[in-house]
Amino acid sequence: MHFEVTAAGQPAKSSVEYEFVFGAQVVAHRSHYTFTGHFSDIVLWPSSAVGYPLTFRAAITTGTTRVNLDYAVQVRQ
């Protein structure tokens, strides 16, 4: 995955935290990274997640603004 965050057209100091959602409930928080402008990462899923309908959430914060980017995932073997 790749994120780009700007403010007034310039790279913005931001942070991203991963949340894993099952149903309507956050079941895990993982990773907290800070970056300016661009960020890339690869998420490896544990075998215990296979078969569950999950939502991967990238919670991006810049200043006082938080945006949740939600992606439905189905982990397979």
Number of domains in the chain: 1
Q: Which domain holds residue 43?
A: 2-74
Please say whether the dihedral angle defined by the alpha carbons of residues 34, 28, 1 and 65, taken in this order, is positive or negative: negative
Average pLDDT rounded to a whole number, residues 18-25: 93
User: The pTM is what?
Assistant: 0.85
- In angstroms, the CA 11 to CA 27 distance is 31
Please, are residues 2 and 40 in contact by the beta-carbon 8 Å criterion? yes
- In angstroms, the CA 4 to CA 62 distance is 12
pLDDT in tens, 22-76: 998 999 998 899 999 999 999 888 888 899 999 999 999 999 999 999 999 998 8
Q: What is the pLDDT of residue 1?
A: 87
